[in-house]
Amino acid sequence: MEGRTTLPIMKTSESAFPSLDIGIGGMTCASCSARVERALKKVPGVQDATVNLATESARITFSPGEQMEARLRRAVRDAGYEPRTPEQMDAVDDASPWAGFAPVAIGLVLSAPLVLPMLGDLFGQHWMLPAWVQFMLATPVQFILGARFYKAGWHALLALTGNMDLLVAIGTTAGWALSMWLWLTAVPGSVPHLYFEGSAVVVTLVLLGKFLEARAKRQTTTAIRALHALRPDAAHLIGLDGEVDVPVAEVLVGDRIVVKPGERFPVDGTLLEGQTQVDESMLTGEPLPVPREPGEKLTGGSINGEGRVVLQVTAVGSETVLSRIIRLVEDAQAAKAPIQRLVDQVAAVFVPVVLVVALATLLTWLWWAGAPFETALIHAVAVLVIACPCALGLATPAAIMAGTGVAAKHGILIKDAQALELAHRVDIVAFDKTGTLTLGRPVLTALVAVDGANEAELLRAAASLQSGSEHPLAHAVVAAAKARGLAFEAPDNVRSVPGRGGEGEVGARSVLVGSLRWMEELGVAMGPLAARAADLQRQGATVSAMAERTTEGVSLRALMAFGDEPKPGAQAALAVLRARGIKPVMISGDNRGAAEAMARRLGLRPEDGEVMAEVLPGDKAAQVAKLKHGGHTVAMVGDGVNDAPALAAADVGLAMGNGTDVAMHAAGITLMRGDVGLVAAALDISDRTVAKIRQNLFWAFAYNVAGIPLAALGYLNPVVAGAAMALSSVSVMANALLLKRWRAPAP
């Protein structure tokens, strides 16, 4: 697999400052990530730093300076953590499911004999290993397998802060030291009750929890790895010496590339030779292959169908659509949701508070309850162990990673976590009309022939005349003739009249097709069709006329009305939004009559304020701002350059992937297909992801809020507390991974 495009590639953020992504090893909880974040922000020149525990990475925005990357990596190391190279990060992602299990296996083997006597007690059997055997089994677990906790805890102490490792190190060391003290001070010949099994089992359980957590983290990054895997390593280049295989990295814009049936397109390009069906499902979520003919665009990463084709390269490297998709998904997974900032504030004071609670537990049991020192110490150790805030740090980023990953598989690219978190609150969705709710290209909606004329023959003649024209209305006429199966011929003596229309000979007939203004200039009498033309124009249609030149002059033969058509599925998609309690609104530059006519075809209700007509392109952002009044959360859906201000003004901007780059840059969410149904799907995955975040935070806090008092009151021993702490992290990750089963709601 190729290396990550964002590690450690420099790039320019929207704030014009360069940014850098650095992998970080050794973080175990929310306190760790907060500590690294503080260390990075102290580096001179750093504008902002965001650390993500789930991806084990940091994104830093900074002012340009000498050796900035080296200084940032040094700051991570000085904070007690390991800055990782892109190769190390890829090795972590590509690791087998059992990578890192060896320490856990050793811990289980050494701890099992210590736990057996406890199981024997349940059946009335009182087994007791000699103290020296317990010591020999527990000590390697405590100081060799548990060395990572001492190292990280020591760095935390040097920084006058706390983390999960410090809690585990203090708690288990206290249990081990208590056992040593009881063993060495015991009356000769007596068999004291030791707590070696508690310290060994807690270390092993924490290691097991971290292993399961790391395994689950690797599953949350499958979306990124799957996107990377779409890139072929080589391309069939047509060079001076014929067809040769070259690495994709050597392909240049303008090169001609051969792609054989079943292969992936290595880069973006334009189809030059051949016809084929292309599977773009991994990029757009569209399950059916789409036909491609010469002149049409091809996207790198999609799969060629049955035809051998030649394409001309239009984009390579980081400029390809696939690379931009990968960047968007990585950016979203590295971003920090607003709710996470509250979690970070809690985590910053959590560990010191826990240390105080543990000390208070020790002193209360000693002096107020009058318990033996060993009992008081065991209760304090249980408080330290169960309070580890690792689940708290994973709750939000794990859900965001899973949510953005599954959304990408369905053609929904979420650019930032804030858009993901806000989308679930949307109660109004504003749509640009042309190209978003409609096809965005004219179609022949009506052909009104004069009395007695053959409508099919007139359409055939008009299509014949316009078969060589590039005008959008001419394409609409030709498409209508093809749809009706009409055969048309090449015209003769074609003459174009700029801004008016054209005329030529079709068989024995001299045919004219053009605007009503041209017909008026030619003195063509509209007769009884004049009222019909006016009616069509009031409905928002563009009206042209077809006439025939004869020896008696130019005579009208038919009116042709052109209009936009709703996108297939647009009406059903708007109905789905309405069923979710969301108000759809259409923003159009058309006159009121035309806009309302299209709105009714889409199932919108103009009488309820669901149509904004006669809106100039520059005023769309103001209309979005007006919709936000009254506390509404507004999403804007658009595809054009003139939609960009409105997309930025909305609480959540959704850009159609078949639109412009400017619109996609301004939007927080990009829909890779021009399918209006993806809007409801994007809002639904936001709902599900935010629900998972809330569930995770509830369980993470619940473990601590319920567990700490129980441990302090003596209802939990360190072994049970360690198991509960490990279970909290695993349950949070498992709950987040349930998002991978999400499917877009059917209209």
Considering only residues 356 and 30, tell me which one the structure prediction assigns the higher pLDDT: 356
Q: Both 109 and 212 in a single domain?
A: yes
* Kind plus residue range of the DSSP H or E element containing 71: helix 68-78
| CATH code where residue 290 lies | 2.70.150.10
In a domain, 228, yes or no: no
Q: Both 710 and 585 in a single domain?
A: no
Residues 6+ away with beta carbon under 8 Å from 249: 317
Q: Tell me how far apart the alpha carbons of residues 600 and 90 are, in angstroms, rounded to a whole number.
A: 53
What share of the chain has pLDDT > 90, as a percent?
A: 21
Question: Tens digit of pLDDT for each residue in 128-142?
Answer: 788 899 999 999 999
Q: Both 536 and 488 in a single domain?
A: yes
Q: Both 191 and 269 in a single domain?
A: no
Average pLDDT over residues 627-655: 83
Residue pair 614/459 in contact (Cβ under 8 Å)? The answer is no
Q: Both 666 and 621 in a single domain?
A: yes
Q: Both 116 and 165 in a single domain?
A: yes
What pLDDT sits at residue 9?
36
Give how far Cα 15 sits from Cα of 225, 589, 655, Å. 28, 32, 21
Average pLDDT over residues 640-650: 75
Q: Both 173 and 253 in a single domain?
A: no
Range of lowest pLDDT (138-147, 347-356, 389-398):
389-398
Considering only residues 217 and 697, tell me which one the structure prediction assigns the higher pLDDT: 697
Considering only residues 346 and 18, tell me which one the structure prediction assigns the higher pLDDT: 18
Q: Which of 319, 353, 382 is the last residue of a domain?
A: 319
Q: Both 244 and 311 in a single domain?
A: yes
Quick one: 47 exposed, middle or buried, by C-beta within 10 A (0-12, 13-18, 19+)? middle
In a domain, 74, yes or no: yes
What pLDDT sits at residue 435?
78
Three-class SS of residue 89? Answer: helix
Q: Both 290 and 383 in a single domain?
A: no
432 among known catalytic residues: yes
In a domain, 324, yes or no: no
The residue assigned the tokens 């077809």 is 546
428 confidence band (pLDDT: 50, 70, 90): very high
Question: Tens digit of pLDDT for each residue in 48-96?
Answer: 888 877 678 888 989 887 788 899 999 998 888 889 876 666 655 555 6
In a domain, 430, yes or no: yes
Most confidently modeled range among 8-12, 479-483, 665-669, 727-731: 479-483
What pLDDT sits at residue 139?
95
Average pLDDT over residues 323-329: 72
Q: Both 59 and 149 in a single domain?
A: no
Which residues share a beta bridge with 653?
Answer: 636
Q: Tell me how far apart the alpha carbons of residues 262 and 283 are, in angstroms, rounded to a whole number.
A: 16
What pLDDT sits at residue 333?
59
Q: 695 lies in which domain range?
A: 102-222+336-402+690-741
12 confidence band (pLDDT: 50, 70, 90): very low
Q: Which of 545, 563, 581 is the last residue of a domain?
A: 563
Q: Given the DSSP bridges, would you call strands 256-259 and 234-239 parallel, antiparallel or unpaired?
A: antiparallel
Considering only residues 470 and 615, tell me which one the structure prediction assigns the higher pLDDT: 615
Query: Of these residues, 90, 165, 432, 684, which one is catalytic?
Result: 432
Residues 6+ away with beta carbon under 8 Å from 485: none
| CATH code where residue 515 lies | 3.40.1110.10
Q: Tell me how far apart the alpha carbons of residues 377 and 48 are, in angstroms, rounded to a whole number.
A: 42
Q: Both 151 and 189 in a single domain?
A: yes
Give how far Cα 671 sits from Cα of 577, 653, 668, 680, Å. 16, 11, 10, 11
Average pLDDT over residues 315-321: 84
Average pLDDT over residues 479-487: 90
Three-class SS of residue 659? Answer: coil
Question: Tens digit of pLDDT for each residue in 169-202?
Answer: 887 888 788 888 888 888 787 767 777 877 787 7
In a domain, 485, yes or no: yes
Question: Tens digit of pLDDT for each residue in 279-312?
Answer: 876 666 555 677 888 988 898 888 888 788 999 9
What pLDDT sits at residue 46?
92
What pLDDT sits at residue 216?
59
Three-state DSSP string of 613-643: CCCCHHHHHHHHHHHHCCCCCEEEEECCHHH
Range of lowest pLDDT (208-212, 231-235, 639-643):
639-643
Q: Both 453 and 554 in a single domain?
A: yes
What pLDDT sits at residue 143?
94
pLDDT higher than threshold 50 for residue 363 = yes
Average pLDDT over residues 23-41: 83
Can you say how many angstroms the Cα of residue 152 is from the centroid of all Cα atoms in its chain?
33
pLDDT higher than threshold 80 for residue 625 = yes
Question: Tens digit of pLDDT for each residue in 488-528?
Answer: 888 888 888 776 788 999 888 899 998 888 898 889 888 88
Is the bond leading into 8 cis (omega within 30 degrees of zero)? Answer: yes
Tally of domains within the chain = 5
In a domain, 677, yes or no: no
3 confidence band (pLDDT: 50, 70, 90): very low
What pLDDT sits at residue 44?
92
Question: Tens digit of pLDDT for each residue in 101-119?
Answer: 889 899 989 988 887 776 6
pTM of the model: 0.65
Which residues share a beta bridge with 52?
Answer: 57
Q: Given the DSSP bridges, would you call strands 303-304 and 669-671 parallel, antiparallel or unpaired?
A: unpaired
* Kind plus residue range of the DSSP H or E element containing 435: none
